[in-house]
Structure 1
Amino acid sequence: MAHNQDSIAPKWFRLNRVVGRDMFWLMGFSAILLLALQPFSSYIAALPFIQAEWNMTNSQAGLVFSSYLLGSAVSSLALAPLTDQLSPRRVLLLGVILLALSNLLFPLLAYNIWLGLGLRFLAGAGHIAAYIPGIQLVSQRYGGRRRGMAVGVFVSAGYAGTTTSYVFMGMLLNYTSSWRLAYLMIALVGLVGVGLAFILTRTTGVEASAGEDRGAAVQPAKASTPASSKGVGVEASAGEDQGRAAEPAKASTPGSLDKGRRWLNLGVLRDRSAALVITAYALHTAELYLARLWFPLLLGATLTRSGREPVEATALATTWAGFMFMTAIAGVFMGGALSDYLGRSGGAMLIFSLSGLCSFVAGWLIDLPPIFLIGLGFVYGFTTAADSAIYSTAIIELSPPGQIGSSQAVQSFIGFAIGAIMPVVAGSILDITRSGTGWGLAFSFNGLLALMAVLALVWLRSLPQAKRMAAGKC
């Protein structure tokens, strides 16, 4: 009996060491995204001042915002498939550098719409070049029931970066002489993320550690290379309960990527279940970024109508919007964990239903006391982001080993391309109506996007291929 207890103790000790090391690793890589994305919302926060300085219409303001998403879309095609061929850590580092430098140059060089478009395009390209490899690395490290949670933590860190800048910019706009100085101060934080990325991506054995710590039982037999000691496979195959997982490119068998598909494989679109996941992701991206751009301005307009001065209303609306969107930090984590239990499509449907309801209501509250819109905003900020990790996890589970990067690239390109269009459409609605009714119509349009996504997810859940997600929970 005593002998058995002694033999068990070292196993628990080793397990605790593995869990602790994994958590430290996850926190480190999540911090990279947190710091690098701090300047993301600076343009939105300063938009009333930039719009006046550059004499832009709402449609043009939306276009400058969406150039970031267009950069992300192009980057997903040009860079993300490289993670099937090169180390994801290397691509992540290059993406963080491009993101930080572009954000730093915006307040220094952007004095018209064209320079603004170009710099935000480059920043968006850097964003996705850091985000996709990060998702891959986290998915490789964590398996089965913990993957949704781990991806949720990483994505939550990104949301923390994109939302805390609302709060910081709102405060800095009150205490600095110009929006440029406030923007520059936030952009400098991104350089800290570059330093952290350089340190952590230089660490060896990141991909290998998951397989070494958890044992070979989690490796798919068909995908692993004989006698390979580096970059081992991490999860079970698609037919097994845990779903298909990301495999490091170095561990792929020779010929797993044929010459015709060396950089990008569009075959994922022939899989109906994957195509529906991508459709839902595209509508999620459109809904999210439409809300991210126009909700702070809706709140500012509401505060102005309630008697606040324009400058005060802008700073106050930006700060409140930051706190509202910060609920996404918990939302993404909870959404990822929820999808581990309810299934990817089930969790996403529930979240989309709530966010769509908020969209249908939000714009019509402009003439009511601001407290109503502020209260709704906290629910809105939570629900528009809570399903983000679900689609990132689902597309990995539906993709074959060796083609993870290509599948993510197709998903990201379509998602960001659609996401780039919808904020401009909402801006056009505001330009055409030029009244309080325009806000109601613009956000009701966002509600229609959510409704379309729910229908796509219902279809997805009815397909037998959906069993490959979330250990068979669809």
Structure 2
Amino acid sequence: MTTKAGAIALLALCEVLAMSLWFAASAVAPQLKALYHLDGLHQAAFASAVALGFVVGTLASAMLGLADRLDPRRLFCAAALLGAAANAGMVLVDPAGWGAVALRLVVGISAAGLYPVGMKLASTWATTDMGLLVGILVAALVLGSASSFLVAGFGGLAWQTPVLASSACAVLAGGLILFLRLGPRLARAAAFRPAVALHALRDPALRLANFGYFGHMWELYAMWAWIGVFLEASFRAADPGLAGTPWARLATFAVIGAGAVGSLLGGWFADRWGRTRLTIGAMLASGTCAVLAGTLFGASPWLVVALCLVWGVTVVADSAQFSASVMELADPSVTGTMVTAQTCIGFLLTIVSIHLIPPVVALVGWHFAFAVLAVGPLLGAWAMARLRRHPESVLLAGGRR
């Protein structure tokens, strides 16, 4: 691909294909639960192990400077192949054993060479449109994450089929990325400096931007990890005849995939309205959906899906704006460290919220389980409102705060 548009299109396709690995196990969790009697802890571990692996991989890559030492296309290819192998390994081990969880950890480590490296590849083509390029990459990540649920939604498939399909997609992504042409602005990433990482929490403006991100992350991946199980249970409660049908998994694909629209619209509105205004609005909307979703449990599937589609859009609409805010607020010499610290703490928080849902469901049922996720966006919106009033907020979005 020699043109900018062609290169970005190819990169987005590779991201969609490779990121299908992330929820490959979660997409078939209902089948695995029925076949192997998995408990809530084990189902949660399928998702949280990927998040933990992503943190490990992100830190290792930053400390070793892999994206600068290696051709990013080759690094992406190697990560895609590693993730594909670890993901495919699930069909060879006992899904109810911890070996399967360990393989999900490796998938998470490999993901650190997919999405962040994809951002670096996109930045080589950026001029004044980095916001748009980030939005495209986030949309690709969302579609890729949702794609496993689409494959799992085809009725009559053994659980191994969606898992192997996502591995095949990742292998294809690893091959296609080698045909990507780098843009003219390939630059070294800002070095990771652990000694100054705490500055992300000491500086008032940076701290508020990071707290906004942490609130966002508390909700996002737990919602993605459990929305399929919620929809399956809700459909069954509304109509027992829907049990075992693919509709809940297809609805899950639509709900998560709707976030692609949210990320693109979020970037567009943030550039025009300002980052804090967009993030506050998105988090208040998604937090409201988190509370309302449970109240509709067991209601008409059409009504439940309609609300969840709105949730799927709003929960992602602000994703790209937090890292953009940190990059605008931080000194350029520590930007790499600030973004890495933000990402790692955010994904560590997701592990807690992902594992919190099963015991809450056991205690109060699905009617109130997702309400605990609303705490994150509520606090995040408060932090971003504080940031909007901070003098340094004029650095955001060209002065649009």
TM-score normalised by L of structure 2: 0.91
Cα pair 2:41 2:355 within 8 Å, conserved: yes
Change (3 A) 1:108 1:84: closer
Q: Distance in 2 between matches of 1:155 and 1:186?
A: 19
Match of 2:27 among 45, 49, 56: 45
Paired residue secondary structure (1:331): helix
Number of residue pairs the alignment of both structures matches: 398
Q: CA deviation at 1:83?
A: 5.4
Q: Distance in 2 between matches of 1:103 and 1:392?
A: 29
Paired residue secondary structure (2:369): helix
What amino acid is the match of 1:45?
A
Q: CA deviation at 1:408?
A: 2.1
Which position in structure 2 is the counterpart of 1:147?
130
Q: CA deviation at 1:85?
A: 4.8
1:57-76 C-alpha deviation (Å, 9 max, x unpaired): 22332123211111112222
Q: CA deviation at 1:56?
A: 2.6
1:318-357 C-alpha deviation (Å, 9 max, x unpaired): 1111112211111111111211111111111111111111
Which stretch has the larger CA shift, 328-337 or 124-133?
A: 124-133
Cα pair 1:164 1:323 within 8 Å, conserved: no
Q: CA deviation at 1:138?
A: 2.5
Change (3 A) 1:466 1:91: farther
Q: CA deviation at 1:310?
A: 6.5
Change (3 A) 1:49 1:298: same
Match of 1:66 among 48, 65, 78: 48
Paired residue secondary structure (2:10): helix
* Greater Rg over alpha carbons, structure: 1
Cα pair 2:138 2:320 within 8 Å, conserved: yes
Match of 1:187 among 120, 145, 167: 167
1:63-110 C-alpha deviation (Å, 9 max, x unpaired): 232111111122222213425753571543443333222222223334
Change (3 A) 1:71 1:376: same
Which position in structure 2 is the counterpart of 1:78?
60
Paired residue secondary structure (1:361): helix
Q: CA deviation at 1:402?
A: 4.7
Q: Distance in 2 between matches of 1:304 and 1:415?
A: 33
2:357 aligned with 1:448: no
What amino acid is the match of 1:275?
R
Runs (4+) of structure 1 exceeding 6 A deviation are none
Q: Distance in 2 between matches of 1:185 and 1:157?
A: 18
Change (3 A) 1:267 1:74: same
Cα pair 2:77 2:173 within 8 Å, conserved: no
What amino acid is the match of 1:197?
I
Q: How does 1:225-264 map to 2 (within 5 A)?
A: 231=186, 248-249=188-189, 261=193
Q: CA deviation at 1:119?
A: 0.9
Q: Distance in 1 between matches of 2:351 and 2:236?
A: 28
1:255-308 C-alpha deviation (Å, 9 max, x unpaired): xx6xx9389844333332222222222222221111112222111112111233
Which position in structure 1 is the counterpart of 2:120?
136
Paired residue secondary structure (1:420): helix
Change (3 A) 1:275 1:101: farther
Paired residue secondary structure (1:129): coil
Which position in structure 2 is the counterpart of 1:301?
233
Q: Distance in 2 between matches of 1:445 and 1:85?
A: 40
Which position in structure 2 is the counterpart of 1:382?
313
Cα pair 2:53 2:107 within 8 Å, conserved: yes
Q: Distance in 2 between matches of 1:110 and 1:276?
A: 44
Which position in structure 1 is the counterpart of 2:148?
165
Match of 1:319 among 236, 250, 259: 250
Q: Distance in 1 between matches of 2:380 and 2:243?
A: 37
TM-score normalised by L of structure 1: 0.78
Q: Distance in 2 between matches of 1:441 and 1:86?
A: 48
Q: Distance in 2 between matches of 1:99 and 1:343?
A: 37
Which position in structure 2 is the counterpart of 1:22?
4
Which position in structure 2 is the counterpart of 1:227?
none
Change (3 A) 1:364 1:110: same
Q: CA RMSD in A?
A: 2.4
Cα pair 2:21 2:107 within 8 Å, conserved: no
Cα pair 2:67 2:117 within 8 Å, conserved: no
Q: CA deviation at 1:458?
A: 0.8
Cα pair 1:84 1:402 within 8 Å, conserved: no
Which position in structure 1 is the counterpart of 2:397?
470
Q: How does 1:76-225 map to 2 (within 5 A)?
A: 76-81=58-63, 82=65, 85-87=68-70, 89=72, 90-144=74-128, 146-171=129-154, 174-176=155-157, 178-200=158-180, 203=181, 206=182, 209-210=184-185
Q: Distance in 2 between matches of 1:84 and 1:40?
A: 21
